[in-house]
Amino acid sequence: MSDANHVSHRREYFKVFFMLTALTIVELIIPNMTLGKFAKGSSLTVLALGKAAIVGWSYMHLKDETKWMRFVALIPLSAFFYAVFVVLESMYR
């Protein structure tokens, strides 16, 4: 095997690791804040989606995929927005 074409991604992976660590620390702080339940839940949900996007983009290599494959990866997000719509609609009914 030849190492001539090998490119190290160590620096990129450490950046992602530290971003995920920072978001996790924020997620641990939010429940202790004096916010309403909806604000806490919304904040934690947005942070979780952000972390999932970072993992998908970096570790699952979506950044190297075609535009069509990126679109296909976003399809489950539409199910999330539909669920949010249904929950909000039932709350205000």
β strands within 1-93, DSSP E: none
pLDDT on residue 1: 53
Average pLDDT (18-41) is 90
Question: Could you tell me the pLDDT band of residue 19, with boundaries at 50, 70 and 90?
Answer: very high
77 pLDDT band (50/70/90 cuts)? confident
Q: The tokens 């490119």 sit on which residue?
A: 7
Q: Domain ranges in the chain?
A: 1-60, 63-93
pTM, 2 dp: 0.66
Residues near 80 by beta carbon (within 8 Å), at least 6 away in sequence: 49
